[in-house]
Structure 1
Amino acid sequence: MSQTPTADQLRNRLVDEILAEHRMPAAVERAMRTVPRDAFLPGLELESAYTDQAVTIKDNPGKPLPLSCASVPSVVAMMLEQLDISAGDDILEIGAGTGYNAALLAEIADRGSVTTVDIDPDVALHARTRLNANGYEHVTVIERNGLLGAPENAPYDKIIATVGVWDIPAAWWDQLKDGGRLVLPLRWRGQTRSVALTRRSNQLVSDSMELCGFVPIIGQNGEKTAPLNADDTIRVHYDEDQDLDPDALTATLQAGAPALEVPSAQRVGGEEPFDGVWLRATASDDRVCRLEVTPQALEQELLRKPVMPVRSPVLVEGGSLAYMTLTREGADPERPFRLGAAAYGPRAEELARDLVAHIDAWGSDRLAVPQMTVTPDDKTSAAGHTISKPESRITLAY
């Protein structure tokens, strides 16, 4: 009769599974084998605590995303690698969550300090309680709007955000040491990337960028959503600096004309990622948004199926739009799918060909990642394509 695995066995098994798929620095591995994730998720089945999945700890009634959750362990490990902590570092975490990530930070920083901030009193109390119960009384937990940081313990060697951030607050600049490192799930043009940035005087310069998804921080409202049909089953998500005409787009889709389809030259395998198309498009094109199509809209065949119905890159201009599609073609068994564009509206052909150009540009170097340079104002500029936000300017260049 087999014995039920212990928490230690399950924790080590999870770390082994992550290591089989991803790199993990030795200090991060030690911390993840040491800190009991189950102790920060009381009431959850032991097996579930050590599965590579997110766990909701507080719902957000009426909203599609939870208010707070425990992040996917492999994503936690990835972001800790990006943060590149040294023993003795002073660290600020934005988004306390369960307290688990703060405990990991404390293990890795060793003789340093960890301050974690959360706007929600229940979440902050949960983190404080769990940290105390597991020997991390020295971690500072503050109930506060994370956009304000924690000036009382600044400056910091490292700042990490565990919530989606649309703009980099001026307060974080003030609290990060020159030469310090900021890792955050940054949102622009409908996508989210975990970006690792090093401060160089009045610039933040990236050296790592990974696809991820996080609950958005409370208090930043630069992202907008517009329904494109009466049933609200087709939506476009866009940034406040983008000029959209939802009524014109709605009229285009209501007209019921078939999609104009343009294939690209790029094929992909069944497990091959192609999110880099979205990333590359944002480095040169301000028309990039996110299209969301619900299962109901697909069942009603209101439009050609997007490559990823819930979150597809789309080019939008006036009453026209073009988004990515995936078509199975049997000619190449290694890469049986062809990427392409489906477009609607008076400028359908132009937008479709522009999107295909982005796809083909990605295909010329599929692993390429742009360098991001962030400045707090207009006084310092970097070469590349710039996206301006209220508190920062983001420049992307390949």
Structure 2
Amino acid sequence: MEPAVLRDDMVDSLEHEAKAVVRSDQVSVAMREVPRHEFVEDDRGAYADTSHRCLGTRVLAPSTAARLLEALDVEADHTVLIVGAGVGYTAAVAAEIAGSCNVHALDIARSLVLEARSNLADAGYGEVLVDRRDGADGLPEYAPYDRILLEAAAVRPPDALLDQLDDDGRLVMPQGASEQSLTAFDADGEAEELGGVAFAPLLVDGEQVDAVERNRTAREDRERARREAQSRHGWQRDWIDWEDR
């Protein structure tokens, strides 16, 4: 079956009242245009409503991506920052709406940055800028942004991302640790909860799957395992004073 037909079937199912995660014309049209098979190795499986694994990260199911995009409410010519680019699919849908040159994406894993760049180019969105950065720092060189999407969980929005939001902007993220809610913030930090989600935590440098580590002794390995068992990861660690990082 032709990919365009599979895309239409996929979006039709996401619009159906059984799921009802695609509600707006802009998200519907964009998801029908973006060739999702360029971002998922299994051409036919790309249009099933399931998640996939790639280079140590989860490729969001279409219904999850749709929820994020509907919450983000991107419009034509908006400037958009995607934190946690992954394989690039969400950035591609945002680029279809706002224009490729208006979308910027970050990931902390170099392997995913290269994957996203390649996938976006193959899909026709090569003008999307994808950079390797610590997501909590954002991308201040191109701020302010009308929309910021954080595709990883944190106990609260990183201050740098709120600072990079336009006065009328909107930041969407999974908020929480063990229990998470998809939450939209305005530039003043006022929050609107949009339902439960489950995302991996926002990582800090050294926690990504392709981080370089030196050789450790057996004792260090035991100590590291003990600390890991007793601590949370990245932005789940709400006791850290992130403003002084």
The question of a shared fold, defined as TM-score above 0.5 by the shorter chain, is answered with yes
Which protein has the bigger helix share? Answer: 2
Looking at structure 1, the residues matched to 122 and 100 of structure 2 have their Cα atoms a distance apart, in angstroms, of 20
Which structure has the larger Rg? Answer: 1
Preserved CA contact (<8 Å) 2:150 2:172:
yes
Q: Distance in 2 between matches of 1:86 and 1:207?
A: 19
CA distance in 2, matches of 1:208, 1:164: 14
Which of 179, 182, 186 is the aligned partner of 1:191?
A: 179
Report 1:165-314 matches (<5 A). 165-188=154-177, 190-199=178-187, 203-219=188-204
TM-score scaled by structure 2? 0.80
Deviant stretches of 4+, over 6 Å: 235-239
Answer whether contact 1:168 1:391 (CA < 8 A) is retained.
no
Encode CA deviations 1:91-137: one digit per residue, 9 max, x unaligned: 10001111111110011113860000011111000000111122212
Higher RCO by CA contacts (8 Å cutoff, separation 6 or greater) = 2
2:24 maps to: 25
How far did 1:240 drift?
5.6
Displacement of 1:207 in angstroms is 3.1
- Determine helix, strand or coil for the equivalent of 1:147: helix
Superposition TM-score, scaled by structure 1 size: 0.50
Which residue number corresponds to residue 224 of structure 1? none
Paired residue secondary structure (2:148) = strand
Could you say which residue in structure 1 is the equivalent of 2:11? 15
Q: For 1:110, which of 90, 93, 99 is the aligned residue? A: 99
- Give the counterpart of 2:135 among 108, 132, 146: 146
Q: What are the equivalent positions in structure 2 for 1:370-389 lying under 5 Å apart? A: none
Q: How many residues are aligned here?
A: 215
The 2-side partners of 1:211 and 1:236 are apart by 25
* 3-state DSSP of counterpart to 2:190: strand
Q: How much has 1:169 moved relative to structure 2?
A: 1.6
5+ residue gaps, structure 2: 206-228
What does 1:88-167 correspond to in 2, within 5 Å? 88-110=77-99, 113-167=102-156
Q: Is the alpha carbon distance of 1:111 and 1:140 closer, same or farther for their aligned partners in structure 2, counting shifts above 3 Å?
A: closer
Which string of whole-angstrom CA distances, capped at 9 and with x for unpartnered residues, describes residues 289-344 of structure 1?
A: xxxxxxxxxxxxxxxxxxxxxxxxxxxxxxxxxxxxxxxxxxxxxxxxxxxxxxxx
Offset of residue 143 of structure 1: 0.9
Q: Assess, with a 3 A threshold, how the Cα gap between structure 1 residues 82 and 107 changes in structure 2: closer, same or farther.
A: same
> How far 1:389 sits from its partner (Å)?
7.1
| Structure 1 Cα separation of the partners of residues 200 and 106 of structure 2 | 15
**Coordinate RMSD, CA, aligned:** 2.4
1:53 equivalent in alignment to 2:50: yes
Alpha-carbon distance, 1:166 to partner: 2.8
2:58 and 2:10 mapped to 1: Cα distance? 19
Question: Which whole-Å CA distance do the structure 1 matches of 2:145 and 2:84 have between them?
Answer: 16
Which amino acid in 2 is paired with 1:18?
Answer: L
- Tell me the CA shift for residue 141 of structure 1: 0.6
Distance 1:11 1:207, change over 3 A: same
1:292 maps to none
Indicate how the Cα distance of structure 1 residues 111 and 163 shifts in structure 2: closer, same or farther if over 3 A, else same.
Answer: closer
